[in-house]
Structure formats: structure tokens, C-alpha cells
Amino acid sequence: MRKLFPGVVWNLPGNRKEILLTFDDGPVPVATEWILDSLRDYRLKALFFCLGERVEQHPELFYRIIEEGHRVGNHTYNHPDGWKTSKKKYLENVEKGNSIIHGNLFRPPYGRLTPQQYVRLRKTWRIIMWSWLVYDFNNQASERKLWEKLELHLSEGGIFVFHDAPYKNKERRELLEKTFQEIKKTGRYFSGNDFP
């Protein structure tokens, strides 16, 4: 994938050992509210890749993300899979999302793009992928197992992908709390607002 799409951002500039927190698929009531409260408590900023459809459903949460100093990016209108969607329909979905979100950053759902979609999208957006996918959406994985894996990668820095929805679950919140605590302890933190 990295060779196919050389203009895509997979790591922080200069491979810095800092951590950029990103959240996909929101905004979602309860979950996004809790995430925003926690980010405020830890004095951290994040980059939220939002779905246009969910922004339409919960505009107050979207505006809260922006008002609290976080960065937003386009994650399409309703999460189509780029490998299963024609170029025309996919680009229409991205444009529809952008008509609501208004940002210059884009992350494809599932990280899936065709070369044709990529060539077109790159003309308008900075495409941001990730260094580490947390798999917090996997209901079969325990917090302990997810944390063991995540803790190893936190020392390497990079762009981390979390998802809004799992944090409706109180048990899942422990994972994010530990992540925030570790970031504050090490001080290795890259604000989403620092992203060009």
C-alpha cells in the first residue's frame, strides 16, 4: 500500500517518536462526549475523522470538537469501502462528506483506496493513514490484550487510530485512559492542530 500510494501520510513528519491521537467514525453521542471530556481533562488535542452523515445527526458534537480546539478531517459521508465502490460513487460520497465537514485532511474508511480514487483525491486532500490501528472496535478483544499491544507501540510514536463508538462501553474506556496517562507521563505528544 505504501508503495502504491507514495503521497499518503503514514507517519509523523521526520518519523518523530511522538503520538498523534486520531478518532474515526464519529461523532457519536455518549462516546464522543466522553472522549472530549477526557481529552480536556488531560489537556490533549486530537484529530477526528468524521462521517458527514453523523455530523448531520449530531451537529452539536461536531461543533464542540472544533470549539475545543481539535482538528477535523473528512472520513466520507457514510463509510463506503473504496475497493467495493466505483470511482464515481466513491468520489461523490467523499464530496458529500466534505460539503458538511469542510477540511483538507481525508482518511479512507478501512484504509482502502483504488489507484484511480487515490489519484483524484490527492489533488484536493492530504490523505492521512496511520502507523498503528488499535482494533478497539473488536468486541472479542479484551482491554488487557489491546493494552499489551498498544503499550508496545506507544514507545515507537506515530499516528494511532481509535474509533469513537467503542467508548460508549465503560470497560473500553480504561484502554483510552491508560493511553492518555502514558502520553502525559512521557510528554511525547503531537497535536492534531500541528498537522500541516
Rounded percentage of the chain residues whose pLDDT exceeds 90: 85
pLDDT reported for residue 98: 97
Domains of the chain: 16-194 (3.20.20.370)
Asked if residues 33 and 172 have their Cβ atoms less than 8 Å apart, the reply is no
- Closest Cα partner for 96 from 135, 128, 56, 152? 56
What pLDDT score does 95 carry?
A: 98
What does the pLDDT look like over 10-21, one tens digit per residue?
999 887 889 999
Report field, pTM of the whole predicted structure over 0.85: yes
How do residues 70-110 score in pLDDT, each as one tens digit? 999 999 999 999 999 999 999 999 999 999 999 999 999 99
Locate 104 and state its grid cell: 483538507
Decide if pLDDT at 130 tops 90. Answer: yes
- Residue-by-residue DSSP string for 156-171: T-EEEEEESGGGGSHH
Distances (CA, A) of 193 to 61, 86, 120, 177: 18, 33, 25, 21
Q: Is the pLDDT of residue 31 over 90?
A: yes
pLDDT at position 94: 98
